[in-house]
A and B are shown apart, each in its own frame.
Chain A
C-alpha cells in the first residue's frame, strides 16, 4: 500500500507524491512510517531519510531538523534543509566540516561551541549520505 508523502523546506516543496515507506531520524531515534499509520508528530534531528517509492526503488536524502507529521494518511516532512543524495554538494560539505572542526578547536563560548558542533554534525551527515548514494 502507498501513501502520499510531502517533503517541504523553506526553499520549496522537495517531494510530493506516492511512497510505500519512509524512514527518518527523529529526536527519539529512527522511525519508519508505512501506509495507514495513525496520526503522529515528532521533531526531526540531523539524519538520513529513506523513501521507498511505489516502483520499489529507494531514494536517500539528508534531512536536518524540522518535524514529521502524519495527518489523515498524508505524511509530511517539514525540514529546515533537505537534499537528495545526488543533489549534495559534497565539496561544500567537506569545507563546512573543516571549518566547523577548526572552530571547535578554538572554542570560545558555549554558544559558539554548540553551533559549531551542530554544523559539523550537519556536514558529516551530508557527506555520509553522499557516500551512500
Chain B
C-alpha cells in the first residue's frame, strides 16, 4: 500500500507542475490578447478608407483599365498563409492549413514559423522566408510585402493572389478564412454617384499606386486578426488544460486518501489481531 501512496503522490506533484505551466501560458496569452485586439481596431479605418477609394475609382471611371483588375485566366496562384509561430493553441494551425488547401505548383508566401516549416516540408516553392516570425512582422514589413507582391504580379510571376488567415470573431470563436486579393474584382457593378472626383495625376496612376498599399493593408489586417486568433485559441486550449489538470488532481487526491485510509485500517487490524493472539 505504501508504495502505491508514494506513486500517487508523485503523480499529483507532476500534474501540479504541468498545471503551473499551462496556467502561466494562459495568463500570458490573455495579456497579449488585449493588445492584439486593440491593434485590430486601430488598423480598421485605414484599410477601409483604402478599399473604399479603390472601389470608387473603379466604379466611377468607365474607360478604366489597370493590370491589377485583369481577370485571371488559369495561371499560377500565389498564396499568403499566415499561421502561428508556436503550437499549443488547439487546432489553430491545422485548421488554417486545411482551409488554405494549397495545390501543387502554387507559390507560397508563408508568415509564421509553423507555416514556413509545413510548406518547406511539403516541397512547395516558397517566395520568401523572411517573415518566419509572425509576431515580429510590422507595418513596415507589410509595406515591403505589398510592394514586392504587386511587382511580382505585374511581372507575371503569378496570376492570382490569395491570402489565408484566421479571422477573429470573438474570444471564443475564430474561423480560418481565405480571401482573393488580386486581381481586384469590382464588388459593385455600377454606381450612379453624383459629382466627379479629380485624380492626380490620373485615375489609373492613383489606382496603381494605391494597390501595393492596399495589399499591405490586407496583409497587415489579416496578420492582426491572426495574431489575436492565435492568442485566443491558445488561451482556450490552456484553460481546458487547466481544467483537466484540476480534475486529475482531485481524482488523484481521492485515490491517495483512499489508499491512506486503507493502509491505516490494515495497520489497526494487524495490531488488534496481534494483541488478541
Q: Is A39 interfacial (CB-CB < 8 Å)?
A: yes
* Cα distance, A12 to B200, chains bound together (Å): 26
Contact of B198 among A38, A66, A67, A76 (CB under 8 A): A38
**Dominant secondary structure at the B interface:** helix
Which one of A3-11, A17-25, A54-62, A84-92 is at the B interface? A3-11
By a CB distance below 8 angstroms, the chain B residues around A107 are none
The distance from the CB of B159 to the nearest CB of chain A, in whole angstroms, is 22
Answer whether residue A81 sits at the interface, using C-beta atoms and an 8 A cutoff.
yes
Interface magnitude class on chain A: 20 to 34
* B220 contacts A41, C-beta separation under 8 Å: no
Which chain A positions have C-beta within 8 A of B209? 27, 43, 67
With known contacts A10-B139, A78-B50, A66–B57 Cβ distance under 8 A: no
In the complex, whether B49 has a CB less than 8 A from a CB of chain A is yes
Q: In the docked arrangement, what's the CA distance between A79 and B49, Å?
A: 11
Q: Does B143 contact A (CB under 8 A)?
A: yes
Per the 8 Å Cβ criterion, residues 37-67 of B in contact with A are 39, 42-43, 45-47, 49-50, 53, 56-57
Cα-based distance from A65 to B214 in the complex (angstroms): 12
Query: 1/0 per residue A81-109: CB within 8 Å of B?
Result: 10000000000000000000000000000
How many chain B residues touch A (CB < 8 A): the figure is 31
B25 within 8 A of A: no
Nearest CB of A to B41, in Å: 8
Q: Is there a chain A Cβ closer than 8 Å to B213's Cβ?
A: yes
Whether A43 contacts B210 by the Cβ 8 Å rule is yes
Interface hub of A6, A69, A78 (most chain B Cβ within 10 A)? A78
Question: What residue in chain B is nearest A65 (Cβ atoms)?
Answer: B213
Quick one: which of A16-47 are within 8 Å of B by CB? 26-28, 31, 38-43
**Given A39-B195, A40-B198, A41-B206, A76 contacting B139 (CB threshold 8 A):** no
B198 pairs with A39, CB closer than 8 A:
yes
A31 to B198, CA, bound (A): 13
CB within 8 Å of A: which B181-225 residues:
195-201, 205-206, 209-210, 213, 216-217, 220
Bound together, the chains give a CA A87 to CA B217 distance in angstroms of 23
Task: Give the residues in chain B near A38, CB-CB below 8 Å.
Answer: 195-196, 198
A residues with a Cβ closer than 8 A to B are 6, 8-13, 26-28, 31, 38-43, 65-67, 69, 71, 76, 78, 80-81, 115
